[in-house]
Chains A and B, each alone.
Chain A
């Protein structure tokens, strides 16, 4: 099975900062990598799909990049409403399996 290593597990930053989260796959997953935001007590929300595609309606300060085994999620200018836990997720085709990273809890400094 493919393992996903997400880092850091927690992060404290100031409003306006550039924030970067990384996700590493244990083997080549092409661009089969998505990013989700989960606010406390809420369901996850899709932000980025297939490594770099911004989901409709998601602010452009969110972006993603990478392919193969190394992926990056970036918030270009942190806003107070971005406080949440962020998860990467990869998908294997056959057999289908979805694997989430451990999550990154983002807090305001």
Chain B
């Protein structure tokens, strides 16, 4: 059974940092691209970042570019999101989500379908 379990959320002051983790099990983690998607309280879904299976391709939403860093450790079956310079508008539940497939060509990879999601971890940015 595919399982994704996020951790690391909590209360942080504006300008602070936080590192989220996502522990994966039930599938060959090193074969799949992964993503972070967030949802502000009472709002819709917003994609945050993508990382290919080998970490060769990484993308960010404009809203977090330069502040957030996605990474993964395939030996530990884990996905991470380092969040710096946090703002009130970053307050959200953060989900990790697996991409159902990965296409790579010319050294660039992409996915498109998020087939499994974790239960999320809440990040609150407030003084």
Contact = CB atoms under 8 A, between A and B. Distances in A.
Contacts, number: 67
Name the prevailing secondary structure of the B interface residues: strand
B32 interface: no
Using C-beta atoms within 8 Å of the partner chain, give the interface range for chain B.
Answer: 20 to 34
Contacts of A49: 100, 113, 115
B108 A94 contact: yes
Interface string A15-56: 000000000000000001010101000111110011000010
14 contacts: A34-B114, A36-B114, A38-B45, A43-B95, A43-B120, A44-B95, A46-B114, A49-B113, A50-B113, A94-B108, A94-B110, A97-B59, A99-B47, A100-B45
B118 interface: yes
B35 A98 contact: yes
Nearest to A102: B44
Interface residues of A, number: 26
Interface of A: 32, 34, 36, 38, 42-46, 49-50, 55, 87, 89, 91, 93-103
B45 A34 contact: no
B45 A44 contact: yes
Interface of B: 35, 37, 44-47, 50, 57, 59, 61, 95, 97, 100, 108, 110-120
Nearest to A103: B44
B45 A96 contact: no
A94 B114 CA distance: 17
A109 B61 CA distance: 38
